[in-house]
């Protein structure tokens, strides 16, 4: 072998291509994970936004309004119910894949207070995802 040769051997080129390919495949795999995470974050944001909007609407109602009634009488035991089992159910027309359920517990955690829990739930990759917001409405004032 002469010491004047310039360039790369075939083995060096193959090794460099292998390292480059592994790097490109890793970035491609991360791209898919990033897209899934972005879609999940978007759905969670939409669910929280819908729940916040419903909380604001319910907070503005007088305490004896029908939308603030415990329809099935289960009180605090039913605060986590969703869908048809909930005290109230609404599918917002602008977000048709999200369902809003809210449950009422009158006199809980103390007399004169009504607890309202709003739950936004939606299907995501074969599972039900949900987010919940809760507030207390004082009926003494």
- What is the pLDDT, as a whole number, of residue 5? 73
* Integer Cα distance of 49 and 41 in angstroms: 12
* Integer Cα distance of 38 and 40 in angstroms: 5
- What is the pLDDT, as a whole number, of residue 3? 63
pTM for the model: 0.77
- What is the pLDDT, as a whole number, of residue 2? 57
The residue ranges of the chain whose pLDDT is under 50 are none
- What is the pLDDT, as a whole number, of residue 63? 86
How does DSSP assign 26-94, residue by residue? HHHHHHHHHHHHHHHHHHHHHHHHHHHHHHHHHHTS-TT-GGGS-TT--GGGGTT--GGGSSEEE--TT
- What is the pLDDT, as a whole number, of residue 136? 94
């Amino acid at each position: 072998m002469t010491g004047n040769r310039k360039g790369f051997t075939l083995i060096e080129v193959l090794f460099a291509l292998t390292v480059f390919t592994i790097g490109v495949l890793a970035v491609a795999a991360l791209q898919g994970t990033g897209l899934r995470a972005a879609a999940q974050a978007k759905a969670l944001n939409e669910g929280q936004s819908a729940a916040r909007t419903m909380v604001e609407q319910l907070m503005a109602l007088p305490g004896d309004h029908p939308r603030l009634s415990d329809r099935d009488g289960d009180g605090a035991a039913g605060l986590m119910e969703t869908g048809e089992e909930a005290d109230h159910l609404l599918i917002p027309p602008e977000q048709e894949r999200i369902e809003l359920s809210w449950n009422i517990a009158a006199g809980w955690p103390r007399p004169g207070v009504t607890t309202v829990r709003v739950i936004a739930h939606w299907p995501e990759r074969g599972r039900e995802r949900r987010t919940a917001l809760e507030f207390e409405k004082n009926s003494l004032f």
